[in-house]
Amino acid sequence: MTILTNRTIIHRLPYKLHSDITALVGDNIINYELTRIDASSPMSTLEIETEQWVHDCCFIVTSQPVLRIRLKAENNYPKITAYLRLRTSLSSIVMTGTGMITTTNSIQSDSLVLELAGTGDTHLHVDITSKLDVILSGTGDAHLQVVTSKLDVILSGAGDITMTGNVRGAGDIRLTDTGDFDSRACPMNTVIVDVSGAGTAYVNGEQAVDVAVSGTGDVHYHGPLRSQRVNRRASINGLRSTNKLESINSLFSSISQIFNSSTTTMKISINFYIICFFFYVFKFSF
């Protein structure tokens, strides 16, 4: 692939991989785009897109089985993007530079450790069978769409994590710095959240929520609160449901209970709940 610009010609060229990739390390300015391909494909592939002079002089690619793309010398490099098409699962992704990492589809694995210590942002869609570990110690933000059985998060940097999807089992969330964690759109079966820094956590636990705050941060939770340990400088707050259907269904449930009461009480109560129903419909329509 060749792109003509007003400065130079940008080429997207293939680079040989010596084996299938099980891990990725990005420690410089290179951006990565990951795509899962069918396991029956002959081989994982790598293409790099940048200006031709960089292709001519500057890349060292190793891939047995950890992919690492090095730049030979310090220079004023243009934008560099590596396109990695994977037929095998990754067990580890480490990003410590300024480059971004994105996915074009869901990356599947039995387990995955995601370490983010750089300044680049992360946009990943992952489907993990057993456990996903996320360790963010940098300043870049992470936007993660996840499906996993178990989740462990350590947020020890200034970057934020926004998570959507579903955790079928337990989530363990620890915040030790100023970064925020938002999983309102990622329900977990149970969740433990521990905030010892100044960050704010938003969590959603369907069966149980356990909260501990020893720093100055805050916790906002949805779900049944099972335990709490909070100092005077922090606060925890229950989140109201943003699901309109859930709120209306809850109202209908209350109405159905009224039908099991006495006939005299029922006439008065039904009128009251009909008024409440139209109030809810009006409220959630705007």
Residue boundaries of the structural domains of the chain: 1-88, 90-240, 246-284
Contact call for residues 122 and 116 (beta carbons, < 8 A): yes
Same CATH topology for 1-88 and 90-240? yes
- pLDDT score, position 277: 55
Report in angstroms the alpha-carbon separations of 121 from 23, 99, 159, 186, 273.
19, 8, 9, 20, 49
> How buried is residue 136: exposed, middle or buried, by Cβ count under 10 Å (0-12/13-18/19+)?
buried
The second-level CATH assignment, the architecture, of 1-88 is 3 Solenoid (2.160)
- pLDDT score, position 124: 99
- pLDDT score, position 200: 97
- pLDDT score, position 75: 87
Pick the more confident residue, 222 or 232: 222
90-240: what CATH class?
mainly beta
- Of 176-180, 182-186, 268-272, least confident by mean pLDDT is 268-272
d(CA 157, CA 168): 27
**For residue 4, pLDDT beyond 50:** no
- Of 47-51, 93-97, 194-198, 237-241, least confident by mean pLDDT is 237-241
- pLDDT score, position 276: 55
pTM above 0.75, yes or no: yes
